């Protein structure tokens, strides 16, 4: 492959990657202008609220969720809140829920269970079924691992009362198990970047933003007008929130109202979550971007930000493509930066014009590589700065979280192969199986997720990550032998990332944890009254 051809391909990929990297800087700037939305503070008759809790096999966390929702109802007014448990479980979670519901109903709470007898449409199907059975005008939604604070409804409902065009109120996610292990610390930093920078940045700049699927309240009328919950993507929350805004409703973001939740404590569960988000968000992009682009009510800035937002997971195919280009550069002997200028050979019959052409090519290619390197560096450090700012704005020490800080970078690159596969699936099909992220209710180091069930099995992606690692080490060795050192750092970073992610996936997969499952399955679940 000629260096100029390789350079052209690399510049194309880098330019596309640079768009997303630059947007990090833009959102950081916009997020610094975030101000909490104001309300008058007037007292009002509290409207009735439905609380929808989609559940599927959540034996470890459903008890604390229902307890927290009842505390929230007690604070808001138990006669004003109906808690609807949307239970699609097919394990002993069903019996646990029945006992919990009976207990809280005896205490005067309006709690009910809705069972469909199947999982048609998965989470979106369960929410749509509940929507059809809901008479309340406002609906709060919480996933199984969340613990809503008691004043959640008191702090969200007033925004709907004072502005009938408010369709959704989204709150910030906190982390129950941030300090559990180095992985939960790393993932928490990544989630913080979304809720500390992305959401405030989009809100303060007047751009479209998303309901995150949990820890939010929706206006039933807005949801119905937007067409309700749809199972044709794996990101039903993102899909609905954009459709609600396209109907003229607003989304309010409350950065300072925090709802704690559990982050995945294992690599397999984290990869499953990211795979679903990657595939789902790109399906939403495929579904809604034509409508967004042609919408005359949206500004150019809103359309650009919507495009970047909905296609964000394309950064992973771009990462994987960069890795493949670097490997090809090594194996095919492409000298990415030539340090040897053309020799003067005019005296031996070489035309001056040929020499000038070679000099021009040498200068042009090297300057192009300098530009390329600057763009790569600017895009790469954007994510690090992003995470740094997210930590600093919370008053969290970066030095004390340095290991987690750098591990997050390796994980981000290491899951790029897995998410590239999901990106291709997003453009080839609609919907798909909603594979939930397992919740283990682990908060402290003494809590052992290994003794839980719901572990994620290995799949073909892990084998492909190992193959990518082997390919990377082969390319590194070839680059060393052929004296092409400029490409080695890029390949080495990707290679270590793939090997790290694959190793953790294998070590924490269902096959490695199966020896615990037989014991746990026989244990009785105790419900404290």
User: What is the pLDDT, as a whole number, of residue 225?
Assistant: 98
Q: What is the mean pLDDT of residues 126-134?
A: 97
Q: Where residue 521 falls among pLDDT bands split at 50, 70, 90?
A: very low
Decide if 239 is catalytic. Answer: no
Residues in CB range of 342: below 8 A, 6 or more apart = 355, 358, 359, 362
Vertex 232: Cα angle to 231 and 236 (nearest 5): 55
How many CB atoms within 10 Å of residue 505? 25
User: What is the pLDDT, as a whole number, of residue 16?
Assistant: 85
Residues in CB range of 281: below 8 A, 6 or more apart = 235, 238, 310, 311, 312, 313, 426
User: What is the pLDDT, as a whole number, of residue 443?
Assistant: 86
Structure tokens at 140: 């709060």
User: What is the pLDDT, as a whole number, of residue 353?
Assistant: 52
Q: 368-388 pLDDT, tens per residue?
A: 556 666 666 666 688 889 999
Q: What is the mean pLDDT of residues 481-502?
A: 92
User: What is the pLDDT, as a whole number, of residue 259?
Assistant: 98
Rounded CA-CA distance 316/309 in Å is 14
Residue 243 clears pLDDT 90, i.e. is over it:
yes
User: What is the pLDDT, as a whole number, of residue 486?
Assistant: 81
Rounded CA-CA distance 152/253 in Å is 13
Distance of CA 351 to the CA centre of its chain: 58
SS (H, E, C) 344-405: CCHHHCCCHHHHHHHHHHHHHHHHHHHHHHHHHHHHHHHHHHHHHHHHHCCCCCCHHHHHHH
DSSP 15: H
DSSP 174-223: EETTTTSSHHHHHHHHHHHHIIIIIHHHHHHTT------SSSEEEEHHHH
Structure tokens at 381: 């450090």
Q: 145-204 pLDDT, tens per residue?
A: 999 999 999 999 999 999 999 999 999 999 999 999 999 999 999 999 999 999 999 999
Q: Where residue 519 falls among pLDDT bands split at 50, 70, 90?
A: very low
Average pLDDT score over the chain: 89
CB 280 within 8 A of CB 238: yes
Rounded CA-CA distance 155/373 in Å is 48
Distance of CA 224 to the CA centre of its chain: 26
Rounded CA-CA distance 490/323 in Å is 8
User: What is the pLDDT, as a whole number, of residue 485?
Assistant: 85
Q: Which fold has domain 49-270?
A: Spore Coat Polysaccharide Biosynthesis Protein SpsA; Chain A (3.90.550)
User: What is the pLDDT, as a whole number, of residue 525?
Assistant: 36
Residues in CB range of 242: below 8 A, 6 or more apart = 208, 210, 284, 288, 292, 306, 310
CB 300 within 8 A of CB 441: no
User: What is the pLDDT, as a whole number, of residue 4?
Assistant: 65
User: What is the pLDDT, as a whole number, of residue 172?
Assistant: 98
CB 58 within 8 A of CB 439: yes
Residue 508 clears pLDDT 70, i.e. is over it:
yes
Q: Where residue 451 falls among pLDDT bands split at 50, 70, 90?
A: confident
DSSP 414: H
Q: What is the mean pLDDT of residues 111-130?
A: 96
Residues in CB range of 480: below 8 A, 6 or more apart = 488
Vertex 247: Cα angle to 242 and 249 (nearest 5): 80
Report helix, strand or coil for 170.
strand
**Phi, psi of 363, rounded to the nearest 5 degrees:** -65, -45
Q: 60-87 pLDDT, tens per residue?
A: 999 999 999 999 999 999 999 999 999 9
Q: Where residue 132 falls among pLDDT bands split at 50, 70, 90?
A: very high
More confident residue, 214 or 18: 214
Decide if 237 is catalytic. Answer: yes
Strand segments, DSSP code E, in 91-146 are 111-114, 138-141
Q: What is the mean pLDDT of residues 274-292?
A: 97
Residue 112 clears pLDDT 80, i.e. is over it:
yes
CB 170 within 8 A of CB 216: yes
pTM (two decimals): 0.89
Report helix, strand or coil for 159.
helix
**Phi, psi of 141, rounded to the nearest 5 degrees:** -125, 130
Place of tokens 């390197």: 373
Q: Where residue 18 falls among pLDDT bands split at 50, 70, 90?
A: confident
Rounded CA-CA distance 239/31 in Å is 23
Q: What is the mean pLDDT of residues 265-293?
A: 97
Catalytically annotated residue among 88, 143, 192, 239: 88
Q: 25-55 pLDDT, tens per residue?
A: 999 999 999 999 988 878 889 999 999 999 9
Catalytically annotated residue among 143, 145, 192, 237: 237
The domain segmentation of the chain, as residue ranges, is 49-270
Vertex 46: Cα angle to 43 and 52 (nearest 5): 140
Q: 333-370 pLDDT, tens per residue?
A: 776 544 444 454 544 444 555 544 554 544 444 555 56
110-114, 225-229, 351-355: the lowest-pLDDT one: 351-355
Q: What is the mean pLDDT of residues 91-110?
A: 97
Q: What is the mean pLDDT of residues 406-427?
A: 95
């Amino acid at each position: 492959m000629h260096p100029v051809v390789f350079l052209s391909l690399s510049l194309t990929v880098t330019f596309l990657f640079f768009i997303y990297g630059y947007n990090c800087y833009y959102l950081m700037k916009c997020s610094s202008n975030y101000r909490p939305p104001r309300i008058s503070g007037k007292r009002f008759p509290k409207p009735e609220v439905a609380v929808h809790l989609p559940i599927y096999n959540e034996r470890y966390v459903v008890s604390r969720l229902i307890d927290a929702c009842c505390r929230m109802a007690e604070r808001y007014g138990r006669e004003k809140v109906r808690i609807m448990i949307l239970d699609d479980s097919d394990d002993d979670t069903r019996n646990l829920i029945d006992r919990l519901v009976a207990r809280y109903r005896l205490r005067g709470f309006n709690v009910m269970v809705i069972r469909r007898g199947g999982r048609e449409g998965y989470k979106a199907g369960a929410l749509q079924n509940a929507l059809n059975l809901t008479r309340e005008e406002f609906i709060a939604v919480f996933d199984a691992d969340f613990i809503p604070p008691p004043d959640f409804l008191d702090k969200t409902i007033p925004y709907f009362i004072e502005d009938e065009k408010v369709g959704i109120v989204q709150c910030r996610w906190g982390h129950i198990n941030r300090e559990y292990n180095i992985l939960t610390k790393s993932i928490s930093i990544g989630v913080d970047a979304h809720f500390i920078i992305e959401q405030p940045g989009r809100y303060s700049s007047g751009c479209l933003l998303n309901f995150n699927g949990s820890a939010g309240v929706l206006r039933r009328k807005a949801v119905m007008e937007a067409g309700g919950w749809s199972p044709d993507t794996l990101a039903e929350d993102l899909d609905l929130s954009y459709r609600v805004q396209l109907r003229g409703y607003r989304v309010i973001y409350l950065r300072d109202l925090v709802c704690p939740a559990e982050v995945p404590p294992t690599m397999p569960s984290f990869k499953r979550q990211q795979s679903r988000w990657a595939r789902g968000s790109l399906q939403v992009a495929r579904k809604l971007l034509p409508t967004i682009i042609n919408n005359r009510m949206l500004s150019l800035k809103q359309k650009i930000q919507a495009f970047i937002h909905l296609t964000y997971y394309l950064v992973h195919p771009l990462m994987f493509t960069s890795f493949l280009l670097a490997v090809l550069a090594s194996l095919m002997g492409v000298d990415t930066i030539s340090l040897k200028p053309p020799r003067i050979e005019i005296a031996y019959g070489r035309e001056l014009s040929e020499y000038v052409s070679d000099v021009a090519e040498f200068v042009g290619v090297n300057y192009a590589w300098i530009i390329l390197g600057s763009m790569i560096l600017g895009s790469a450090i954007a994510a690090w700065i992003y995470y740094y700012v997210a930590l600093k704005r919370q008053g969290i020490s970066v030095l004390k979280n340095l290991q987690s800080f750098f591990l997050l970078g390796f994980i981000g690159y290491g899951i790029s192969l897995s998410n590239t596969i999901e990106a291709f699936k997003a453009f080839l099909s609609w919907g798909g199986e909603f594979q939930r992220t397992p919740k283990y209710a682990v908060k402290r180091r003494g809590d052992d997720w290994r003794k839980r069930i719901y572990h994620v099995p290995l799949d073909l992606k892990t084998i492909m990550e190992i193959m990518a690692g082997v390919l990377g080490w082969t390319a590194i060795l070839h680059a060393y032998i052929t004296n092409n050192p400029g490409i080695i750092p890029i390949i080495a970073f990707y290679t270590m990332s793939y090997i790290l992610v694959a190793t953790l996936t294998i070590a924490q997969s269902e096959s490695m944890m199966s020896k615990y499952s037989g014991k746990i399955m026989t244990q009785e679940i105790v419900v404290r009254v």
